[in-house]
Amino acid sequence: MNEADQPLSPQKKPYAVPVEAGKKYFWCACGRSKNQPFCDGSHSGTVFRPIQFAADKNETVHFCGCKATKNRPRCDGTHSKL
């Protein structure tokens, strides 16, 4: 496994993002995006692909910032164990 196969961890806490019902969001799974927590295409050349999140209601979603969550793209608290 090479370095491009490992996600970067931009921050060890979630990103609290207000989302709108009916909109789709693409969470960065590689950690390389300059537009965290969302994809900007920086995964090109890696094994990573963004994870689609479809908002079914207006709410604040806590998107994972450490990229180690088991509940992608939502934070599951894994960052507290890193």
Q: Give the pLDDT of the chain (82 residues) as one tens digit per residue.
A: 566 688 999 999 999 999 999 999 999 999 999 999 999 999 999 999 999 999 999 999 999 999 999 999 999 999 999 8
pTM of the model: 0.92
* Domain count of the fold of the chain: 1
3-class DSSP state of 79: helix
d(CA 61, CA 51): 14
Instruction: Identify each DSSP E strand in the chain by its residue range.
Output: 15-19, 24-27, 51-54, 59-63
Range of the domain at 26: 1-82
